């Protein structure tokens, strides 16, 4: 009996420890608009988040639907900033549903782009994993 | 003393069990725009969510404000898709505040529509109950 | 050993107690648009939230980017309603990044305005503290 209790409490403490080791802030940003002013806003938001929340912050930008252009070399207005932010650890992921539906050649995407099967599902999965949601 | 501890741990385990039985994914989607492109996007998003996350997923669409038209027979552009998704278990609920304020006859709403006293409060209550939030 | 376990369970119960004392509902509303129809919608949403969720509800409106005008005396269309809602305990906070970037004189903001270093970080910090997120 005592052993079971001890194991329970130990598991609980292990959980707290794991929590303490994870990033202090985790943010998923959804981009589903072709509005380049909004794209500029996203990049500015990320800078502000990094300044305000410090280096122990994970940020993932999910581009899907009309927002996929943010990550297409010939369409994005934020090429230099995305390269700079990605070098600092910000993730940029493109929705493979959107890519397939719009017959986009993956080679036309920025080299910093990662991929997720579904952008909208990614936004949900991140929230389920404790990430905060930002719709710019 | 031992009994109290045993009860505490037992209650905790019961809680985990209940958690394990609930839907794997719970998503509340807020629609408050009359933009029919956005309505089309919502329906496409739901299809993508279902494909990506599997059948053990609960989805509720909350239509309020300018978004109420999504559920009005004479205004919606998604009649057939809503019937199809509702048959698969997706919930569509209309905001009774919006209905009252705009003197909408409930009989003009799609037969698949449920009702909530306040659309905006529903979005909050669902988040409080652990649902992820999606603003398309 | 028993003492450690007792302390653990006691700490857990204290936590539950603290939870029970906090507001029943906590909502952070992000305003980053200059669209005055959206501003009107926010004010109406707050009224609906208060009616639906009752007095034990904390609401904070974060104005940043193009949304800062909501709190500028010469630009806002919701002066009277903001005074009324603030008197009832709703918080309105302005983003100091936006204020600095746009060289806004703080004296031009509504007297009900509070300030946060970064509007977008505030939206994240509130979510991390268990507040529900609303993007109107």
Tens digit of each residue's pLDDT, chain A (136 residues): 666 666 666 556 655 555 555 789 999 999 999 999 999 999 999 999 999 999 999 999 999 999 999 999 999 999 999 999 999 999 999 999 999 999 999 999 999 999 999 999 999 999 999 999 999 9
**3-state DSSP percent of chain B in helix, strand and coil, to 5:** 55, 20, 25
H helix or E strand, kind and range, residue B3: helix B2-21
- A55 DSSP assignment: S
Judge whether B12 is closer than 8 Å to chain A, CB to CB.
yes
Evaluate if pTM is beyond 0.90.
no
The domain made up of B23-134 is a member of CATH 3.40.1260.10: yes
Candidate from A9, A51, A134 with C-beta closest to C124: A134
Output the pLDDT for position A125: 98
Its ipTM equals 0.84
- Does B135 reach chain A within 8 Å, measured CB to CB? yes
- The percentage of residues in chain B with a pLDDT greater than 70, rounded to a whole number, is 85
Q: Enumerate residue ranges in chain B where pLDDT < 70.
A: 1-21
Cα distance between residue C47 and residue C100, in whole Å? 31
Interface with chain A: mutation pick from B23, B47, B51, B52, highest number of A CBs within 10 Å:
B52
Sheet holding A25-31, edge to edge: A113-116, A91-95, A57-63, A25-31, A132-134
Q: Which stretches of chain C drop beneath a pLDDT of 70?
A: 1-21
Where in chain B are the domains? Answer: 23-134
C55 close to C85: Cβ distance less than 8 angstroms: no
Contact B124 C135 (CB under 8 A): no
C76 touches chain A (CB under 8 A): no
- Partner B contacted by C6 (CB < 8 A): yes
- Shortest Cα distance from B31 to chain C (angstroms)? 10
* Cβ–Cβ below 8 Å for C120 and A6: no
Q: Which residues pair with A134 in a beta bridge?
A: A29
């Amino acid at each position: 009996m005592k052993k079971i209790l001890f194991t329970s409490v130990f598991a609980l403490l292990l959980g707290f420890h794991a929590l303490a080791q994870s990033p202090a802030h985790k943010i998923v940003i959804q981009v589903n608009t072709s509005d380049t002013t909004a794209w500029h806003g996203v990049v500015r938001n990320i800078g502000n988040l990094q300044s305000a929340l410090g280096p122990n912050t994970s940020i993932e930008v999910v581009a899907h639907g009309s927002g996929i252009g943010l990550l297409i070399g010939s369409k994005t207005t934020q090429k230099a900033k995305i390269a700079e932010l990605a070098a600092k650890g910000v993730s940029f992921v493109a929705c493979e549903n959107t890519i397939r539906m719009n017959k986009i050649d993956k080679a036309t995407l920025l080299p910093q782009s990662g991929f997720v099967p579904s952008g909208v599902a990614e936004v949900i999965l991140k929230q389920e994993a404790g990430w905060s949601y930002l719709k710019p």
